[in-house]
Amino acid sequence: MRPAKDLLVRENHFYNCLEGCVIDLDDADPWTIGRVLLQENIIELPTGGGLSPVGIRLDGDGASARLFKQVVIRNNQIRHLDAAAGAAATIGISLDSTEAAIVEENLINIGSTPNTPDISKAIQRTSSVAIKTFNNQSTNGKFLPSTYGSPMRQDPDMITEAENWLLTA
């Protein structure tokens, strides 16, 4: 059996799923996925207590080899059912074992205060190298950068970086 070379998940509606769009590779397998495009999906997560929902998860089990070579996650909406509050442990986008990714123009409203989601849970990365974020927001306009590490660090949002450069030029 041969792995997928490219993967496209576009214009789907994941309704009341504990995990919306999940791609899980085992680092023991010699498989990689060359290009992944997740675009224009609507992901509505459950609101029940005691849950830890995830909107989009690319999981390589913490592999040191980058199992996802090129990833683009663009124009997705991740929220709880009926725009209600959900579990504080909810994660919007989780990237693991990714070599290069662009995460842009996603609308993420998750957690116990969905209009102002916890930045540390909106876009997370582990064992990933080059992650670029552009204009990911909650509905109140709060920019959501990707976060990593302990203590938590943030990758800069490229739009904010460009605006800051223009203001200081």
Q: Name the residue with higher pLDDT: 94 or 120.
A: 94
Domain boundaries, the chain: 6-168
Determine how many CB atoms are found less than 10 A away from the CB of residue 126: 14
Predicted model pTM: 0.88
The string of pLDDT tens digits covering residues 70-102 is 999 999 999 999 888 888 889 999 999 888 999
End-to-end CA distance of the chain: 55
How far is Cα 80 from Cα 17, in angstroms, rounded to an integer?
Answer: 10
Q: Name the residue with higher pLDDT: 1 or 110.
A: 110
